[in-house]
Chain A
Amino acid sequence: MTALLSLSGLTKAYPGVIANDDVSLDIAAGEVHALLGENGAGKSTLVKMIYGLVMPDTGSMAMNGAPYAPAEPRAARAAGVGMVFQHFSLFDALSVAENIALGMEHAPKMRELSRRIREVSDTYGLPLSPDRIVGDLSAGERQRVEIIRCLLQDPKLLIMDEPTSVLTPQEVEILFQTLRKLSAEGTAILYISHKLEEIRSLCDSATILRLGRVVGTCVPRETTARDMAEMMVGKVLATPTRATSQLGDVVLSLNGLSLPSPHAFGMPLRDIHVTLRAGEVLGIGGVAGNGQDELLAALSGEMTAGPGMIALKGEDIGRLGPTARRVRGLLSAPEERLGHAAAPDMSLTENAMLTGAAREGLERRGMLDWAAARSFAKRIIAEFDVRTPGPGNAARSLSGGNLQKFVIGREVLQRPDVLVVNQPTWGVDASAAAAIRQALLDLATGGAAVIAISQDLDELMEISDRFAALNEGRLSDPRPAQGLSVEEIGLMMGGAHGMEVAHV
């Protein structure tokens, strides 16, 4: 049996880095093939070549035995390749039907298109109304828009780039049912993820990339997640551990925190109650866009709250700004590394100065102590193993994982009483993620309280003492993380958004 798509010897080099080096793999019709690898392993470049966004330097591709070299996405779609992007390539201000029409070569009339959207969404159990504005949809619903856009063109190969990173467990289950149904109908699926348990339950075969090269293939059902992870990183992984610690006094309490969102498509915070004790890690899960950014902003002081809503060690800090809160020991690291947590074009020294000035004594009566800031930056680089030539380099020049280590390390080294982090390991490779989680646990062991907001449930289960979920701006009651099942977590997160499992 010939493969549906066969890649041989694909190589693509960018200035200074070889993204793909002699990559070969075969995908058969109806096969669910996983592409595994850390960030920067070359997964994205590889699928961009298949989808015609990037041209390979050398090597060749064949579709059903015939040469296949798409010059642009249009050609790839015409050949039966569909792609669902990791960062959804959708237009917020347009309707579902308009978004889908844009991705089609010969879009039918809007009324006909709406009818076909309903038809496909019923067939595959992906409920979706064609007239809604995409900006109002949940992440799971947005993904359905992309999937339906692909399905309307009868793809032979569907590429899914990190499809589950923004879904609730229930939504993941619905997605997997859809993918299994497609695969049973003969559609091949190239599935990119770093969530190994998902790959084990869904995929028939896997190709593992490291630094642009194929380092192994395996049958995921017969391989443990740990073995796959170690193939990905090329070394033995350490699991974060923590010494058991005694919980101290209440350090932070939120009493009926309610705030409107500053953004048009944001989520207001609604009546949040929670208390946090010294030495505790509170994990906050939830699907993106349910108030995570707003909660971080309310805690960091970017948004000020009403009187009595936020108390730090008994003091009402609701009306204080970020610097005043930092002085009192409430520190935070937001999700967006470039532009929010760090100023992209400023050096690491300058970035260290920006949040460390108050607590590290880098500023005296308005005069900046650059020597002290430089040594603070050096200390962060050394203790958190940040790979960079030196503190004079711009934040932008660091890879995502290294900059994340710097951003988290910068806050941890300021000895916070309470540290709030949002997506501490987002887009960070496995070994750097383990180091960051370990640092957060060590911080809690040392007597600080940590609030970790994340979409990675495995991560939250690994580090949290208690777990709570944000859903539509409300925070569920925190429950001990130990022994919490996936179903219970899913229900806390609000179940599947706006849908039920369709029975087909």
Chain B
Amino acid sequence: MDLSVINPVLLIAALMSAATPILLAATGELVAERAGVLNLGVEGMMIVGAICGFAVAVESGSPALGFVAAAAGGALLSLLFAFLTQVTLANQVASGLALTLFGLGLSALLGQGYVGVKPPSMPDVNFGALADIPILGRILFSHDPVLYFGLALVAAVWALLKFTRAGLILRAVGENHDAAHALGLKVVRIRVLAILFGGACAGLGGAYISLIRVPQWTEGMTAGVGWIALALVVFASWKPWRVLLGAYLFGGITQLQLNLQGAGVAIPVEYLAMSPYLVTILVLVILSADKSRAPASLGRIFHASS
């Protein structure tokens, strides 16, 4: 065992990248859940985003265009969920599970011609001299634009929910849709928009995996990240900064255990592999012991009767 092969600077830089797919998907789901919609289709929207982004990036040669297509693909799939739950008033849990299964199948179909293809790579943002700062430069200023976008998204969602009227309306709809309706708020319209936002974010998260993390396409390559994102939203008590914390914690432990495996630590691989899940859940359970609770209308069907 040789722990000296683990470079803490590289570890931190890598964990930020490892955490980004979860962060993007969880932030989108957080917005949907704050509006009172429980969309269990995150995994399905991610994988559809992954293949849409991959295919468009390969065909066009532009990873940026790929990410736009990924967001559009995720949003388009979530529109199906929005139609089922907001128009036909179908059960949200069942619709979300169906969306995941449908997304996995659809992505496998779309991706048939792309197995083994190498996508164009996305250049890192050039910060010039900033990147040369020892340690900090490597950690903070050596990443691709989507990673920074993810961080900005968390800050934007936090500010929107806390300081703006739009955010207040979104929270109100998730808290008590009947009262919101009585005040004349457009419950269904707001929820559809929140669902679309969640779908677009999940799509981006999926494409981050297929275009940047493991630049290739394999069937089912999101491998449960969507479910982690869903769990993260709950354990983060529906708070954006805690989602960031949870995602980084998860990404960090994932990277660390990979490095430990590489260093030949004498712990069975299975224990190391399960450690990110255990530690993340443990920390967030402790954090969520305060008074915060789920949006009161979460998962409930809204029908504007009389």
- Report A's interface with B, CB cutoff 8 A: 14, 45, 48, 52-54, 72-74, 85, 88-94, 98, 101-103, 107, 264
- B175 and A93: CB pair below 8 A? yes
B251-306 CB contacts (< 8 Å) to partner A: 291, 293, 295-296, 306
Report the separation of the CA atoms of residues A464 and B171 in the bound assembly, to the nearest whole angstrom.
45
Report the separation of the CA atoms of residues A54 and B304 in the bound assembly, to the nearest whole angstrom.
11
A102-B183 in contact given A92-B175, A93-B295, A93-B296 (Cβ < 8 Å): yes
Query: What would 15 more interface pairs be, CB under 8 Å, given A93-B171, A102-B183?
Result: A48-B306, A73-B182, A73-B184, A74-B184, A88-B179, A91-B171, A91-B172, A92-B296, A93-B175, A93-B295, A93-B296, A94-B175, A101-B165, A101-B168, A102-B168
- B182 and A54: CB pair below 8 A? no
Which single member of A14, A88, A264 contacts B293 (CB below 8 Å)? A264
CB closest chain-A residue, reference B179: A89
Is B169 in contact with chain A by the CB < 8 A criterion?
yes
A94-B171 in contact given A73-B182, A89-B179 (Cβ < 8 Å): yes
- B165 and A91: CB pair below 8 A? no
- B293 and A93: CB pair below 8 A? yes
Report the separation of the CA atoms of residues A103 and B171 in the bound assembly, to the nearest whole angstrom.
14
B39-74 CB contacts (< 8 Å) to partner A: none
A92-B176 in contact given A48-B306, A102-B168 (Cβ < 8 Å): yes
Is B178 in contact with chain A by the CB < 8 A criterion?
yes
Of A54, A88, A92, A264, chain B has the most CB atoms within 10 Å of the CB of A92
CB closest chain-A residue, reference B292: A93
B7 to chain A, nearest CB (A): 44
Interface size on B, residues (CB 8 A): 19
Report the separation of the CA atoms of residues A17 and B183 in the bound assembly, to the nearest whole angstrom.
26
Of B172, B184, B293, chain A has the most CB atoms within 10 Å of the CB of B184
A90-B182 in contact given A14-B306, A98-B168, A101-B165 (Cβ < 8 Å): no
Report the separation of the CA atoms of residues A52 and B183 in the bound assembly, to the nearest whole angstrom.
10
Report the separation of the CA atoms of residues A63 and B183 in the bound assembly, to the nearest whole angstrom.
21
A89-B306 in contact given A98-B168, A264-B293 (Cβ < 8 Å): no
Chain B 151-193 interface mask (CB, 8 Å, partner A; 1/0): 0000000000000010011011001101110111100000000
Provide the residues of chain B in CB contact with A14, threshold 8 Å: 306
Report the separation of the CA atoms of residues A74 and B182 in the bound assembly, to the nearest whole angstrom.
10
- B184 and A72: CB pair below 8 A? yes
Provide the residues of chain B in CB contact with A52, threshold 8 Å: 184
B210 to chain A, nearest CB (A): 38
Report the separation of the CA atoms of residues A91 and B183 in the bound assembly, to the nearest whole angstrom.
11
22 contacts between A and B (CB under 8 A): A14-B306, A48-B306, A54-B306, A85-B182, A89-B182, A89-B183, A90-B179, A91-B171, A91-B172, A92-B176, A92-B296, A93-B175, A93-B293, A94-B168, A94-B175, A101-B168, A102-B168, A102-B169, A102-B172, A102-B180, A264-B291, A264-B293
Provide the residues of chain A in CB contact with B293, threshold 8 Å: 93, 264
- A94 and B182: CB pair below 8 A? no
Provide the residues of chain B in CB contact with A92, threshold 8 Å: 175-176, 296
A305 to chain B, nearest CB (A): 26
Provide the residues of chain B in CB contact with A102, threshold 8 Å: 168-169, 172, 180, 183, 185
A153 to chain B, nearest CB (A): 12
- A89 and B176: CB pair below 8 A? yes
A12 to chain B, nearest CB (A): 10
Report the separation of the CA atoms of residues A72 and B176 in the bound assembly, to the nearest whole angstrom.
19
Of A14, A89, A94, A102, chain B has the most CB atoms within 10 Å of the CB of A102
A268 to chain B, nearest CB (A): 16
- A73 and B165: CB pair below 8 A? no
A107-B165 in contact given A91-B176, A92-B175 (Cβ < 8 Å): yes
Report the separation of the CA atoms of residues A487 and B168 in the bound assembly, to the nearest whole angstrom.
42
A286 to chain B, nearest CB (A): 25
Provide the residues of chain A in CB contact with B178, threshold 8 Å: 89
- B168 and A90: CB pair below 8 A? no
Q: Which 8 residue pairs spanning A and B have beta carbons closest together?
A: A89-B179, A73-B184, A91-B175, A89-B182, A74-B184, A91-B176, A72-B184, A93-B175
CB closest chain-B residue, reference A102: B172
Provide the residues of chain A in CB contact with B176, threshold 8 Å: 89-92
Provide the residues of chain B in CB contact with A91, threshold 8 Å: 171-172, 175-176, 179-180
Provide the residues of chain A in CB contact with B165, threshold 8 Å: 101, 107
Of A53, A74, A91, chain B has the most CB atoms within 10 Å of the CB of A91
Report the separation of the CA atoms of residues A45 and B305 in the bound assembly, to the nearest whole angstrom.
12
Provide the residues of chain A in CB contact with B183, threshold 8 Å: 73, 89, 102-103
Report the separation of the CA atoms of residues A53 and B291 in the bound assembly, to the nearest whole angstrom.
35
A23 to chain B, nearest CB (A): 17
CB closest chain-B residue, reference A101: B168
CB closest chain-A residue, reference B306: A54
CB closest chain-B residue, reference A73: B184
A310 to chain B, nearest CB (A): 31
Provide the residues of chain B in CB contact with A72, threshold 8 Å: 184
B6 to chain A, nearest CB (A): 43
Report the separation of the CA atoms of residues A88 and B182 in the bound assembly, to the nearest whole angstrom.
10
B186 to chain A, nearest CB (A): 10
Report the separation of the CA atoms of residues A90 and B291 in the bound assembly, to the nearest whole angstrom.
19
B179 to chain A, nearest CB (A): 4
B292 to chain A, nearest CB (A): 9
Report the separation of the CA atoms of residues A107 and B295 in the bound assembly, to the nearest whole angstrom.
23
Report the separation of the CA atoms of residues A102 and B180 in the bound assembly, to the nearest whole angstrom.
8
Report the separation of the CA atoms of residues A53 and B179 in the bound assembly, to the nearest whole angstrom.
12
Report the separation of the CA atoms of residues A90 and B179 in the bound assembly, to the nearest whole angstrom.
6
- A94 and B172: CB pair below 8 A? yes
B169 to chain A, nearest CB (A): 7
Report the separation of the CA atoms of residues A91 and B296 in the bound assembly, to the nearest whole angstrom.
9
CB closest chain-B residue, reference A85: B182
Of A14, A54, A103, A107, chain B has the most CB atoms within 10 Å of the CB of A103
CB closest chain-B residue, reference A74: B184
A284 to chain B, nearest CB (A): 28
B66 to chain A, nearest CB (A): 39
Provide the residues of chain B in CB contact with A45, threshold 8 Å: 306
CB closest chain-B residue, reference A83: B182
B200-258 CB contacts (< 8 Å) to partner A: none
B89 to chain A, nearest CB (A): 16
Report the separation of the CA atoms of residues A45 and B306 in the bound assembly, to the nearest whole angstrom.
9
Report the separation of the CA atoms of residues A94 and B169 in the bound assembly, to the nearest whole angstrom.
11
CB closest chain-B residue, reference A99: B172
Provide the residues of chain B in CB contact with A88, threshold 8 Å: 179
Provide the residues of chain B in CB contact with A89, threshold 8 Å: 176, 178-179, 182-183
Provide the residues of chain A in CB contact with B296, threshold 8 Å: 92-93
CB closest chain-B residue, reference A12: B306
Report the separation of the CA atoms of residues A53 and B293 in the bound assembly, to the nearest whole angstrom.
31
A14 to chain B, nearest CB (A): 7
Report the separation of the CA atoms of residues A207 and B179 in the bound assembly, to the nearest whole angstrom.
28
Report the separation of the CA atoms of residues A16 and B61 in the bound assembly, to the nearest whole angstrom.
63
CB closest chain-A residue, reference B175: A91
Provide the residues of chain A in CB contact with B172, threshold 8 Å: 91, 94, 98, 102
- B182 and A53: CB pair below 8 A? yes
CB closest chain-B residue, reference A106: B165
